[in-house]
A and B are shown apart, each in its own frame.
Chain A
């Protein structure tokens, strides 16, 4: 059964720092992987989607990489800002489109 793990569970950094969030999954037979952002008490916002055939995707200050063979993905955030403070969730898609989620990394960027 697919399991998705995110490390660390929480991270606090000063503004301006570059940072990396990690996601690992146990079964490499995935269709794609998505990174989401969740603000407190809100729904999820999709940040980046990487197909299984891709190595990385970029959007602004965000870069997500995928190494399917090793079961790992990273989300790189450049020049972090207080507005980046949120919980970041990683999810892998299998089969009929069902996503399997990690528990998330809670990021706090201090001014």
Chain B
């Protein structure tokens, strides 16, 4: 089955702790994205990557870091510098333009809670 997997489904963070959210896709997509969703809000872009070993900051990158060492993996680390990390985090992927598929596909999400 092709798709995007995110783990864990729920994650608890203690104050001062860094935590890493996993995102894996087997769709052979080049571009991958991380979004944050707060209640009653639209999705906000944290980071995106269009190719391995390259990534760019989105609108709310402060307090977050990413890596893209493999095409299929785009982990997100929520650092202790992110003072309000409680949110629903969504990973997405998309083929590069010109492939005929413009759709952005989403994973099931990870809910991060602060203890």
Contact = CB atoms under 8 A, between A and B. Distances in A.
Contact of A46 (B43, B50, B104, B111): B104
B109 A42 contact: yes
Contacts of B105: 46
Nearest to A6: B42
Contacts of A49: 102-103
Contact of A44 (B50, B106, B111): B106
Contact of B103 (A4, A46, A89, A102): A46
Interface string A18-60: 0000000000000010101000011111100101000000000
Interface of B is mostly: strand
B40 A51 contact: no
B106 A101 contact: no
Interface of B: 4, 6, 31, 33, 40-45, 48, 50, 58, 88, 90, 92, 94, 97, 102-109, 111
- Of the listed residues A36, A43, A45, A93, the one surrounded by the most CB atoms of chain B closer than 10 A to its CB is A43
B107 A43 contact: yes
8 contacts: A4-B42, A41-B88, A43-B4, A43-B6, A46-B104, A97-B48, A101-B42, A101-B44
B42 A97 contact: no
Interface residues of A, number: 23
A104 B44 CA distance: 13
B101 to A, nearest CB: 9
A102 B42 contact: yes
Nearest to A45: B106
A96 B42 contact: no
A72 interface: no
